Amino acid sequence: MSKRYLWFLSLAALILSSLCLTSCRHNKKYRIAVSQCSDDDWRKKMNNEINREILFHEDAEVEIRSADDSNSKQIEDIEYFINNKFDAIIVAPNEAEALTPVISKAYENGIPVIIFDRNINGESYTARIGADDVALGMQAAKYALNTLPNAPKALEICGLPGSTPALGRHNGFTDEFIRNGGQIRASVPANWNQDMAEKVTDSLLNIYKDIDVIFAHNDRMAIGAYEMAGKHNLHNVKIIGIDAAPEIGIQAVADGKIDATFLYPTEGHRVIQTALDILKGKPYQRVSILPASSPVDKSNADILLLQNESLIEETNHMVELKNSIDQYWAQHSSQTLLFYAAVVIIVLLGGVFFLLLRAFWQHRRYQVELMEQNRLLQEQRDKQKELNEKLQEATQSKIAFFTNVSHDLRTPLTLISGPVEQLVTATNLSPMQSTLMRIADKNVKILKRLINQILDFRKYENGQLKMHLEEADFGMLIKEWMEAFHSLARKRNLKFRLIAPQHPAVSLAFDVEKIERVVFNLLSNAFKYTPDNGEVTVAYNYDDKDLTLTVTDTGEGISERDLGSIFDRFYQVDRVHPNGSGIGLSLAKAFVELHEGTISVESALGKGSVFTVTIPIQHVESTAATHVSPLIDSREVESELGDVTDDTQFEKDLPVVLIVDDNPDIQILVGNLLEKKYNIITAANGKEGVKMATKYVPDLVICDVMMPVMDGLECCRRIKDEVTTSHIPVLMLTACSMDEQRVQGYDSGADGYLSKPFSSEVLLARCNSLLENRKRISRLYDSTAIKSAPDADRQEKSRALPKGDIDNDFYRRFLEIFEKEMGNPEMNVDAISSRMGLERSQFYRKIKALTNYSPVELMRNIRLRRGHELLLKTDKSISEIAYETGFSTPAYFTKCYRDAYGETPSEVRAKNGR
Ligand code: ADP
């Protein structure tokens, strides 16, 4: 998946998760537990208040449990709250004694504990909210005392003994009542319970008939007391209760059942508020005791009931409001979620749309580009097709032209070849005539073969090439065909062998002449492209279906680039130095394909080649195997592929000409033209040419420009750069007559340029003039010639030869060395040539070419000239002068001096008066 899509997915995930966070924002946080000890009206009222209060706190929820006046049930409830890890516990303990341990446990577990209504033993709570029960008891006593005559008598129906409100109310009431002259006939517990209160009151009223007032610790017990007072016809007994719960206590006052009740504050909202303050770490009051209120009696009971009703109504209204708010909130949340989801979807859709759009445009662009490329390709194809057609046409017309010309050429050629063949075998020819005839014969044969090949090829293309199938033994024929190449193989030291199968005879029907030409072409190519000392191997094998022939050579091989094309007509690997016509292999392929066979090649540059021919074995039933005599003649092979040059010996007095040309025929032709006047040596390429020039130091080099290994320009440059050969004039021969080539030729130091074809006269004239030129130059160095240069001016002149020229520098160096050591009789030609870094023969030819003197003559002349000067300018004795100038004896000096100057040294001295 691409990075772009990943980016989109992660964006969507991010948006969705933030949406989740937003929608989960209103999760409840605080869980508050409420444990009520019983389930009476007062507690119901309180629970309503708690539930109402919690409506205002989004971050809190409450669970209320009632113990139905049972200690064990309440302990169980509180354990449940502890185990379920409630955040705060609000408890109204049933009995202090029983519940203190479990409440302490919750407190010690770190759960904030708020005690309300009743108390526990000790201080194991976080906060406590309670009413002032003593004050409540006192208020009740005061009310009774105010509404009754002096010294009233009272019964007290108490709450659960051990519960703190019962205790407080009892104390407050009895203290106040007795202190103000009242009498308490009895205080009996009825455990907050109406039935029990009825029973207790009933039995008490049986005993005490003079009772003025009954004080019950709560309204239910008060109602029970009222019932019993009625039963005992004590209608004037005042009944006082506590709690003032609307449906029970206040209603009983309004109904006239009890005379007064005192509000015992429920304060449900306060306990919740305190719990949340504790949980949120806000300040709170640890112990809050609510003050006692004024009595509810006949005068205000109805109003209070009405208020209560409207409160209930308000509460219901609030609950409804709250529900609808919750509903709206839920709606809001889901709508927000929907909104964000819609935003995400729109963003994603936008992204997808953008990507689609981009992909669409890219696709469009690619399509346009592709169409453009297609158009260009189509154009190229059309052009190519047109070119191909033109090429085809050109090839066809070329072939047609060749065919026509070939037809025209064949007759005169046949007329030439006959006489030439006869002349070749003639015995009365001079060696040179016979060589020339062999060249003519060879080239006539090549031309004839070429013309036949072109005509055959044309016939093949026109489907006119006829097959002359005959049954023949291939094994025998191949041996005979190979025979023709053996002598050439020997001459060139090529290992040439046949690998035949175990049963060499294999008879099959084939066009013997055509297959012979295939074999001839493969073998002559193998010989042509394999250097001396290489290997050419012919192998054949056969099975039921095919005959396979391979011709393997260790020659130069064919590059991969050319491999695919060598069977194409007129294809030649080396177009610069063509060594054939490029038609042989394509015709071989045509012949093989006429036999429904195949021809293929495997080769690599420098690794030789393997040509494989496969011909299906078929038989001509009627014809018996015939022996067909081979057409290939070994003389033909040798004359076509062999080397007809002989090593030439120098004839002493003639100048030496080095002919550098890769074409042996040209070497022979030029050699024959020049051989009367020159000694001829030859080289087949530039590299060999440089070698020969250095070895023999010829007087003239005639050099072809286009040659393998090293071309003529490079060869000329090297000759001119080498001290040994720098003086040799070079005449370039080339088929090109372009000025640019001439410039290149002259740049490389060539002294002359001759375009092919050239006439023998022109060649001779050019050679002559170059050699004459050379002689003229040599006169410049001729400062030592005794007769022509008797004075020191000529010597100075030679010293003043321009520097930087290799020959001048060479000659100057020679003079320096020799003149310095002239007196040394050891200073002979050997010594000075090795000082000059040349071999004796090279030094000889160099000095001779430069000065026209041999080194011995030159050195003697220099000695004599110095001697001459010394005779004229000094008083040194003749023998002193003779030794100083390097003559072995004064007598020899005298002889040489007389030979050179026509007088003896003593005569010169006498003449000059010395
Ligand atoms: P050609 O008459 O020029 O030899 P062919 O059609 O016989 O023409 O051969 C085509 C080309 O294939 C040649 O120019 C030559 O470069 C290459 N070739 C043929 N045989 C061999 C071989 N045995 N080794 C190397 N190159 C070869």
Q: Please tell me the predicted confidence (pLDDT) of residue 171.
A: 94
Question: In angstroms, what is the span from residue 396 Cα to ligand 1's centroid?
Answer: 22
Cα–Cα distance, 393 to 661 (Å, whole number): 36
Residue located nearest, by CA, to atom 8 of ligand 1:
582
| Region for 913 from its dihedrals, namely left if φ exceeds 0, alpha if ψ lies in -120 to 50, beta otherwise | left
Amino acid in position 415 = L
Identify the residue whose C-alpha is closest to ligand 1 atom 19: 525
| 671 CA from centroid of ligand 1 (Å) | 29
Give the Å distance between the CA of 726 and the centre of ligand 1.
39
589 alpha carbon – ligand 1 mean position (Å) = 13
Q: Best substitution site from 525, 591, 612 to test ligand 1's pocket, by max atoms within 8 Å of Cβ?
A: 525
d(CA 45, CA 739): 129
Across the range 325-336, mean pLDDT stands at 87
Region 336-341 average pLDDT: 90
Reported as a single tens digit per residue, the pLDDT across 124-158 is 999 999 888 999 999 999 999 999 888 899 999 99
Q: Out of 312-316, 334-338, 520-524, 688-692, which region has the weakest mean confidence (pLDDT)?
A: 312-316
Which whole number is the average pLDDT over 851-873? 83
pLDDT of 807 over the 60 cut: yes
> Using CA positions, which residue lies closest to atom 21 of ligand 1?
525
Name the residue with the closest Cα to ligand 1, atom 13: 572
pLDDT for 153 equals 94
Which residue from 594, 585, 601, 614 is spatially nearest to 524, judged by alpha carbons?
585
pLDDT tens-digit readout, 777-805? 766 665 554 444 444 444 555 555 555 67
Q: Taking 60 as the threshold, does the pLDDT of residue 21 lie above it?
A: no
pLDDT at residue 631 above 50? no
**Residue with CA closest to ligand 1 atom 2:** 580
b/e sequence 242-261, b meaning 16+ C-beta within 10 Å: bbbbbebbbbbbbeebbbbb
Q: Name residues whose C-beta falls within 8 Å of residue 506's C-beta, 6 or more positions apart in sequence.
A: 473, 474, 475, 540, 542, 547, 617
Q: Which residues contact 565 (CB under 8 A, 6 or more apart)?
A: 571
Give the Å distances, CA to CA, from 305 to 251, 252, 267, 311. Answer: 7, 11, 18, 10
Please count the other Cβ atoms lying within 10 Å of the Cβ belonging to residue 867.
Answer: 27
Identify each DSSP E strand in 655-800 by its residue range.
656-660, 679-683, 700-704, 730-734, 752-755
Mean pLDDT of 99-126: 92
Going by the DSSP 8-state scheme, the letter that residue 662 receives in this structure is S
Best probe residue, ligand 1, of 566, 568, 613, 641 (max atoms within 8 Å of C-beta): 566
Q: How buried is residue 386: exposed, middle or buried, by Cβ count under 10 Å (0-12/13-18/19+)?
A: exposed
492 alpha carbon to ligand 1 midpoint, in Å? 19
Residue 571, CB-side half-sphere exposure with 13 Å CA sphere: 13
List, in sequence order, every residue forming a beta bridge with 115; answer none if it has no partner.
Answer: 91, 128
Q: What is the DSSP string of 239-274?
A: EEEEE--IIIIIHHHHTTSSSEEEE----HHHHHHH
Does residue 279 carry a pLDDT above 90? yes
**In the predicted model, what is the mean pLDDT of residues 677-683?**
86
Closest ligand 1 atom, residue 579 Cα:
3
Residue 576 pLDDT level (bands cut at 50, 70, 90): low
Query: CA-CA-CA-CA torsion for 209, 215, 218, 224, nearest 10 degrees?
Result: 10
Phi-psi bin for 191: left (phi > 0), alpha (psi -120 to 50), beta?
left
| pLDDT over 90 at 809, yes or no | no
Distant-in-sequence, close-in-space partners of 37: CB < 8 Å, separation ≥ 6: 66, 67, 69, 74, 92, 93, 94, 117, 118
52-56 — which CB contacts under 8 Å span 24+ positions? 52/268, 52/269, 52/315, 52/318, 52/319, 53/268, 53/269, 53/272, 53/273, 54/272, 55/318, 55/319, 55/322
Q: Which atom of ligand 1 is nearest to the CA of 582?
A: 8
The structure tokens 């005298």 sit at 894
DSSP letters of 282-304?
Answer: ----SEEEEPP-PEEETTTHHHH
Beta bridge partners of 508: 472
pLDDT class of 101 with cuts at 50, 70, 90: very high
Most confident of 41-45, 371-375, 848-852: 371-375
Question: Which residue out of 535, 585, 589 has the highest number of ligand 1 atoms within 8 Å of its CB and is therefore the one to mutate?
Answer: 585
Residue whose CA is at the smallest distance from ligand 1 atom 11: 572
* Between residues 636 and 570, the one the model is more confident about: 570
Classify residue 533 as left (phi > 0), alpha (psi -120 to 50) or beta: left
CA of 710 to the centre of ligand 1 (A): 21
The answer to whether 454 touches 582, Cβ cutoff 8 Å, is: no
Say if residue 601's pLDDT is above 90. Answer: yes
* Look-up of token digits 């025979």: 483
Pocket of ligand 1 (CB under 6 A): 521, 525-526, 529, 553, 555-558, 566, 571-574, 579-586, 609
Q: Is 69 helix (H, G, I), strand (E, B) or coil?
A: coil
How far is it, in rounded angstroms, from Cα 526 to Cα 498? 14
CA distance 665 to 192: 150
Residue with CA closest to ligand 1 atom 7: 584
Collapsing DSSP states into helix, strand and coil, what is residue 199?
helix
The CA 557 to ligand 1 mean position distance, Å, reads 9
SS3 438: helix
Q: For 827-848, what is the HEC assignment?
A: CCHHHHHHHCCCCHHHHHHHHH
Q: How many CA atoms lie within 13 A of 467 on its CB side?
A: 16
What is the model's pLDDT at position 184? 94
**Ligand 1 atom 18 nearest Cα:** 525
- Residue 623 pLDDT level (bands cut at 50, 70, 90): very low
Nearest CA owner, ligand 1 atom 23: 526
User: How far, in Å, is the centroid of ligand 1 from the Cα of 525?
Assistant: 6
Residue 372 C-alpha from the chain's centroid: 29
What was the pLDDT predicted at 282? 93
Query: Tell me, what DSSP letter sits at residue 782?
Result: G
Give the residue-averaged pLDDT of 572-595: 77
**Is residue 820 scored above 60 in pLDDT?**
yes
Provide the mean pLDDT of the chain. Answer: 83
Question: Quick one: how far is CA 168 from the chain centroid?
Answer: 94
Share of the chain above pLDDT 70, in %: 86
Asked if residues 121 and 143 have their Cβ atoms less than 8 Å apart, the reply is no
Category of 568 on φ-ψ map: left (φ > 0), alpha (ψ -120 to 50) or beta: beta
Expressed in angstroms and rounded, the spacing between residue 833 Cα and the centre of ligand 1 is 49
Counting residues of the chain whose pLDDT is more than 90, the rounded percentage is 32
Instruction: Please give the distance, rounded to the nearest whole angstrom, from the Cα atom of residue 582 to the centre of ligand 1.
Output: 7
Q: Are 521 and 585 in contact (CB under 8 A)?
A: yes
- Residue 787: predicted pLDDT: 47
Helix, strand, coil: what percent of the chain each, to 5?
55, 15, 30
pLDDT at 739: 56
Alpha carbon distance 842, 697 (integer Å): 6
Quickly list DSSP for 486-554: HHHHHHTT-EEEEE--SS---EEEE-HHHHHHHHHHHHHHHHHTS-TT-EEEEEEEE-SSEEEEEEEE-
Residues 6+ apart with CB under 8 A from 250: 244, 261, 296, 301, 304, 305, 308
Q: What is the pLDDT of residue 29?
A: 82
Query: Which of 542 and 662 is assigned the larger pLDDT?
Result: 542
DSSP secondary structure letters along 87-121: SEEEE--S-HHHHHHHHHHHHHTT--EEEESS--S
Q: Which atom of ligand 1 is nearest to the CA of 569?
A: 6
Rounded to the nearest angstrom, the distance between the alpha carbon of 41 and the centre of ligand 1 is 125
pLDDT (tens digit per residue) in 405-434: 776 776 677 667 767 877 877 778 887 888
DSSP 208: -
Q: Are 114 and 93 in contact (CB under 8 A)?
A: no
User: pTM for this structure?
Assistant: 0.39
- Other beta carbons within 10 angstroms of residue 120's beta carbon come to 24
Closest Cα partner for 727 from 801, 819, 834?
A: 801
Rounded to an integer, what distance in angstroms lies between the CA atom of residue 553 and that of residue 536?
A: 4
Atom of ligand 1 nearest to the CA of 530: 24
- Alpha-carbon distance of 151 to 170, in angstroms, equals 18
Distance (Å) from CA 574 to ligand 1 centroid = 9
Model pLDDT, residue 684? 86
How far, in Å, from the CA of 572 to the mean position of ligand 1?
7
